[in-house]
Amino acid sequence: MKLPAGLPAALFAALFAALFAVLCAAGAATSAPSHAPSHAPSHGPSPTASPAARIAERIALGRELFFESRLSGDGSRSCASCHAPDKGYADGEALSRGYNHAGHFRNTPSLIALASKPRLMWDGRYPAERLADVVVDMIRSPVTMNGDLQIVVERVRQLRHQQIAAGHQR
């Protein structure tokens, strides 16, 4: 899937690479250590890859997480459920549907031109530098995705292990 020109690839990559790093860090602090060897990097792109390859890996990871419904509490919603690419990364509704189709008191803001905004959310409660916090808060919010951070961390880990296993089977 090609990203639209209005949503800079670097922003998309940074947003979801930050989410992935936050999720992994949260999981490391909340889960028991595994003694099984891992063939996967614990987070992010390979440190030996070229800068262009690292950016491409982050964009791919961001795209995957953006459409990943396992980030929500019951596995039914992804970021794209409300920030639909074909609707300008919004939902086109006057008032958005929240988690479990409950009504929301605001509509979904578009993610296009996000990099040019000094504050985030309709009420401006987050400075732009805290974009990763917004993502995590939206995953955890009972109104938006209702995700439990510990469960989401484990789901992301399982997804990564499934990808590695699929890669080794080729």
**Nearest residue to 109 (alpha-carbon basis) of 95, 128, 90, 135:** 90
What was the pLDDT predicted at 135? 87
Question: Cβ distance 55 to 48 under 8 Å?
Answer: no
pLDDT number for residue 46: 63
Q: How far is CA 75 from the centre of its chain?
A: 14
| Residue 5 structure tokens | 């020109």
- Residue positions counted in the chain: 170
* pLDDT for the residue 162: 82
pLDDT of residue 142: 92
Place of tokens 């930050």: 18
**Confidence at residue 16, expressed as pLDDT on a 0 to 100 scale:** 63
Tally Cβ neighbours within 10 Å of residue 23.
Answer: 26
Q: Of the candidates 168, 107, 116, 90, which has an alpha carbon nearest to the alpha carbon of residue 143?
A: 107
Residue 117 corresponds to which amino acid? K
CB 111 within 8 A of CB 7: yes
pLDDT at 127: 94
Domain extents for the chain?
11-29+50-169
pLDDT at 115: 79
Positions of the chain with pLDDT lower than 70, given as ranges: 1-47, 168-170
Q: According to the model, what pLDDT value does residue 31 have?
A: 44
Q: For position 81, what pLDDT does the model report?
A: 92
pLDDT at site 170: 42
Q: What is the pLDDT of residue 36?
A: 39
Domain 11-29+50-169 superfamily per CATH: Cytochrome c-like domain (1.10.760.10)
* 42-45: long-range contacts, CB 8 A cutoff, minimum separation 24: 44/17, 44/20, 45/17
pLDDT at 133: 86
Q: Show Cβ contacts of residue 58 under 8 Å, excluding neighbours closer than 6 positions.
A: 13, 14, 16, 17, 44, 45
- Give per-residue burial for 142-153: e unless 16+ CB within 10 Å, then b: eebbbbeeeebb
Overall pTM > 0.75: no
